Amino acid sequence: MCPNTDTVGLHGWTAVPVDADAIFEGKPYLNEPTPVSLSDIAWPSDDPIVAKVQEYAKEKLPIETYNHSMRVFHWATIIARQQFPTHASSLSPSTLALTCLLHDIGTTPAARASTQLSFEFQGGFIALQLIQHQLGGAQSQAEAVAEAVIRHQDQGTVGTITFLGQLIQLATVYDNMSERPYLVHPQTREQVVTKFKRCGWSRCFSKSLRAELEEKPWAHTTHLGSEKFPNGVRFNKLMEEYDAWTE
């Protein structure tokens, strides 16, 4: 079956380089980031599928991972608007929200124990089943979310990825490792982390990565370095002060 070209922009299927350096032309950013008020970032709460998946995520994910997912939505929205306005103008906020909510659904102990698959692949299959088959979502949207979840740690320099997948990569590595720290204005960063606190996320996610690597030494996370990646997450200097917040 040929892909539906009407949904390419809507669900972020446009092919872009997987190499972020190529996208940014070797520069820190394409457009200088400016402050964004949280009131200007609308969560698609009127979408019934998003509402149901949000409840699912709240039930299945620990608060640290849920808050991370909500921060990723904000980072991704800001990055898309300010750096890639043409793509942002057509991308469905609902598709982005679903991807953010579910991108780490495979990291929970229950999800990891239920399969020998790497957490991103398990998460993609969970997302596809949940959105399309349980909630009756559109196939193109469900598959776009699944593809982005599966590939959200598929970093490299050769080949292409969907725009949605690249956007989730940029937003997650910003939150996890503070890569490309200049993509979000400091005032905006403060607002987002105040609303969706990290709750020690750097330590939490590093432990989750190490748990998967111990259980599944073949895991896709090894692609990023069995020590380099967990250590990069754990010692996230840009987010260090926010990780220490307890209230």
Q: Name the band, by pLDDT with cuts 50, 70 and 90, for residue 78.
A: very high
CATH of the domain at 177: 1.10.3210
pLDDT at 243: 86
How far is Cα 150 from Cα 240, in angstroms, rounded to an integer? Answer: 28
Asked if 88 contacts 64 with a C-beta cutoff of 8 angstroms, the reply is no
Domain of residue 140 covers 9-18+46-243
Q: Residue 85: inside a domain, yes or no?
A: yes
Kindly report which listed range (34-48, 127-141, 200-214) carries the lowest average pLDDT score: 200-214
Give mean pLDDT, residues 207-230: 84
Q: Is residue 4 part of a domain?
A: no
Kindly state whether residue 222 falls inside one of the protein's structural domains: yes
Using CA atoms in the order 112, 114, 120, 125, what is the torsion angle rounded to 10 degrees? -160
Rounded to whole angstroms, how far apart are CA atoms 155 and 170?
10
Asked whether the predicted pLDDT for residue 247 surpasses 70, the reply is no
What's the pLDDT band for 246 if we cut at 50, 70, 90? low
- Tell me whether residue 141 is in a domain: yes
pTM of the model: 0.94
Is the predicted pLDDT of residue 238 greater than 90, yes or no? no
Does residue 201 fall inside a structural domain? yes
Least confident range of 30-44, 143-157, 225-239: 225-239
Q: What pLDDT is stored for residue 1 in this prediction?
A: 40
Q: What pLDDT sits at residue 102? A: 98
3-state secondary structure of 2: coil
> Would 27 be classed as within a structural domain?
no
> Domains in the chain: how many in total?
1
Distance CA 124, CA 126 (A): 5
Give tens-digit pLDDT for 99-157.
Answer: 999 999 999 999 999 999 999 999 999 999 999 999 999 999 999 999 999 999 888 89
CA atoms within 13 A on the CB side of 133: 8
pLDDT of 68 reads 95
Which residue, 10, 15, 19, is CA-closest to 170? Answer: 19
More confident residue, 211 or 44: 44
- Return the H-helix or E-strand segment holding 152: none
Question: How much is the pLDDT for 64?
Answer: 94
Taking only the tens place, the pLDDT of each residue in 164-193 is 999 999 999 999 988 899 999 999 999 999
Tokens representing residue 209 in the block: 């990565």
State residue 151's pLDDT score.
Answer: 94
Question: For 148, phi and psi rounded to 5 degrees?
Answer: -65, -40
31 located within any domain: no
The kind and range of the H/E element at 160 are strand 160-162
Burial class (CB in 10 A: 0-12, 13-18, 19+), 196: buried
| 100 within some domain | yes
Ranking 25-34, 61-70, 87-96, 233-242 by mean pLDDT, the lowest is 233-242
- What's the pLDDT at 212? 86
